[in-house]
Amino acid sequence: MGWFMRLVNINYIDVDKYEYYLGRTVSSEGVVLLKQGVKLNENYVKQLNLKGIHYIYVIDEVSEGIEIKEVISPDKYFKMKDVVKDQFNKVKKNVNIGLNMNIINNTVDDILTMLTSNKDIYLSINEMRNMDDYLYEHSLNVAISCLYTGILLKYDKMKLHKLAVGALLHDVGKLFIDPKVLNKPSNLTIEERKEIEKHPELGYRFISDNYGNQIQPQSKQIILQHHEKWNGSGYPNQLSGERIYEMARICCICDAFDALTSKRVYRNPMPIYLASEYIYSLGNIEFDFEIAKLFLSKIVRFKEGSIVKLSDGSKGIVYSQNKSALDRPIIKLLVSKEGYSIGHKNIFIDLLEEKTLFIEKQLESTILD
């Protein structure tokens, strides 16, 4: 089922000028903050901002006809995130109680079922993030994108399972690093950087010592090697090329991509199309280029509902995707190149056919003036 809505950055919502209705219920810590369908006002926007929520789905005039398709519904996503959060918090509180590997395995199987039951997969990143939950959401996102990539690599179910368990736990070592250093907004000192770079080994040791017989060696290698780089410039062991375990090479790409596209205390998220270019540009340098190309071949560059500027100066909203060219979607024009508002005319441009036009950039604004 599709909904007529789009994802917007709440900093650009202007409730005085336009009407917005919430497209999806927003919850935080299991508590509903705002219900689907509610009309947004200044106070609501302020509250969302305070809760660290920066992107929401809205139904407004320009979103008419836009269909959002998702492999994993936000409801299921947030439930899984809460499971990861709960598990990680248990480790933080008491290492001896720690993880319940049955719960981890079940979560992985749930994601796998969702992804494999949807044959028509292409990766659309969940942008409804909460900065305070970075580690949990990051872990879940990396597990999801690793699974996508594993499916593209035609891994069997057993292999996919090992890949996802390792990916879900790849940063578990960060639980043992001082949060003040992890979340430091300014530049890190050499000592602080070294401290953070211990996390693959800390995670590997924690898992080996406590769950050695409940977790496959391949999953553990992902934890240990996910920061090794193709050219040998990574850590902890400066492995290079195919000496890095293949599943860790997958995790390295998905990890970098998710980190770039999330908001951190020290920087804003990079738009998906730019993060994709970044990953591509580092193929054979930091990343396994073949795997990177495969991963990128399924990444939606401009999500439905994004406002974009075309190379002729006109502006429009991404209406639907061309599955054979995810950087050339179908656009509904909103503003002509001369600057006139033309949304009501229902003019569509298929960038697969209009070969001389391309998307120059994605606009952050949700309004067009």
The sign of the torsion formed by the CA atoms of 88, 90, 94, 96 equals negative
How many Cβ atoms from other residues are within 10 Å of residue 242's Cβ?
A: 10
Which residues in the 154-183 window bind Fe ion by CB under 5 A? 171
- Part of the chain binding Fe ion (CB under 5 A), chosen from 184-192, 252-260, 309-317, 318-326: 252-260
Nearer to Fe ion, 253 or 296 (CB): 253
Size of the site for Fe ion (CB under 5 A): 2
In the complex, minimum distance from the CB of residue 226 to Fe ion, in angstroms, rounded to a whole number:
6
- Residue 228 within binding range of Fe ion, rule CB under 5 A: no
Nearer to Fe ion, 192 or 350 (CB): 192
Nearer to Fe ion, 33 or 177 (CB): 177
In the complex, minimum distance from the CB of residue 198 to Fe ion, in angstroms, rounded to a whole number:
11
Pair 152, 298: CB distance under 8 Å? yes
CA distances from residue 162 to 109, 139, 219, 249, 251 in whole angstroms, order as listed: 11, 15, 5, 14, 12
- Part of the chain binding Fe ion (CB under 5 A), chosen from 19-27, 215-223, 254-262, 343-351: 254-262
Encoded one letter per residue, x for contact with Fe ion by CB under 5 A and - for no contact, window 9-48 reads ----------------------------------------
Give phi and psi for 4, each to the nearest 5.
-95, 90
Give phi and psi for 237, each to the nearest 5.
-115, 10
Residues 6 or more apart whose Cβ sits within 8 Å of residue 7: 55, 56, 57, 68, 127, 128, 303, 305, 306
- Residue 255 within binding range of Fe ion, rule CB under 5 A: yes
In the complex, minimum distance from the CB of residue 171 to Fe ion, in angstroms, rounded to a whole number:
4
Q: Which of 23, 215, 10 is nearest to 105 (CA)?
A: 215
- Part of the chain binding Fe ion (CB under 5 A), chosen from 23-31, 144-152, 160-168, 251-259: 251-259
How many Cβ atoms from other residues are within 10 Å of residue 216's Cβ?
A: 15
The sign of the torsion formed by the CA atoms of 295, 299, 301, 306 equals negative
Nearer to Fe ion, 138 or 303 (CB): 138
Interacting residues with Fe ion (CB under 5 A): 171, 255
